[in-house]
Amino acid sequence: MKKLILASVISFTMLGCANDTDEYIDTPLPDQQADLRDFDRDGVINARDKCPGTPVSARVNNDGCEELIEVSQEQSLKILFENDSAEINPVFAGQIEGMAEFLKQYPETSIEIQGFASNPGDREYNLNLSRNRALFVQDKLIGFGVEPSRVTIIGYGEDDVEDNSPTDEALERRVEATVIGFKGDFVREWTIFTKLPK
């Protein structure tokens, strides 16, 4: 028992001496040169992230930018008219409304409406008639909410610039337009931050 007490006193004295003679040294702080955080949680640290704020679940490259895929869609308009008339048959209203919805879906696109006329009649008259047909379709599109600045019209009269071969006269009395819309979407990928459904 005396030996145990003596050993305890000796070890306490030695420890006390060590603490009294050595200076206390603070825990060193790391000299961090870069921000190692990842605010947008895409797996690329802020210091290297050239595209902060990438969408959650987007596949990113080494710069932290999402990989995009381009989606394109085409919409066409073809409206036929009675002889010597610019009045739009109600049967084509759904087609015009569909084009208006398409243009709203792709706000970067614009549309050129092309009017045509059949051969019979004065050339100048047919040119004005084709413009009026295109103008009436333009007015309908604007009525469905398309911005006027996105719509242009052109009248070709009886000159069919796309096809000079003889066609049915009824098919020459027309307005047509084709619009191609492009949208970019990002490639989705599972990451360590992805939450799985429970």
Q: What are phi and psi of 132, to 5 degrees?
A: -60, -40
Q: How confident is the model at residue 1 (pLDDT cuts 50, 70, 90)?
A: low
Residue in the structure block whose two tokens are 């295109």: 134
What is the amino acid identity at position 85? S
Q: How many CA atoms lie within 13 A of 19 on its CB side?
A: 6
d(CA 92, CA 174): 12
Give the residue, 90 or 170, on which the prediction is more confident: 90
Please provide the average confidence, as pLDDT, over all residues in the chain: 78
Taking 80 as the threshold, does the pLDDT of residue 176 lie above it?
yes
| Percent of the chain surpassing pLDDT 90 | 25
Residue in the structure block whose two tokens are 């879906």: 105
**What pLDDT digit, counting tens, does each position of 35-67 carry?**
688 888 888 888 888 888 887 777 888 888 887
Residue 151 contacts residue 134 (beta carbons within 8 Å) = no
**What pLDDT digit, counting tens, does each position of 81-132 carry?**
998 899 999 999 999 999 999 888 888 888 899 999 988 778 899 999 999 9
Residue 49 contacts residue 65 (beta carbons within 8 Å) = no
Pairing of strands 151-155, 111-115: parallel
How is the beta sheet containing 68-80 ordered, strand by strand?
68-80, 174-186, 111-115, 151-155
Residue 158 confidence (pLDDT) = 79
For the chain, which domains are there? Answer: 32-66 (no CATH), 70-186 (3.30.1330.60)
Calculate mean pLDDT across residues 125-146: 93
Helices and strands: H and E segment counts in the chain: 4, 4
Query: Cα Rg for the chain, rounded, in angstroms?
Result: 37
Q: How confident is the model at residue 161 (pLDDT cuts 50, 70, 90)?
A: very low
Residue 192 confidence (pLDDT) = 53
Q: What are phi and psi of 184, to 5 degrees?
A: -105, 135
Residue 160 confidence (pLDDT) = 62
Calculate mean pLDDT across residues 22-34: 76
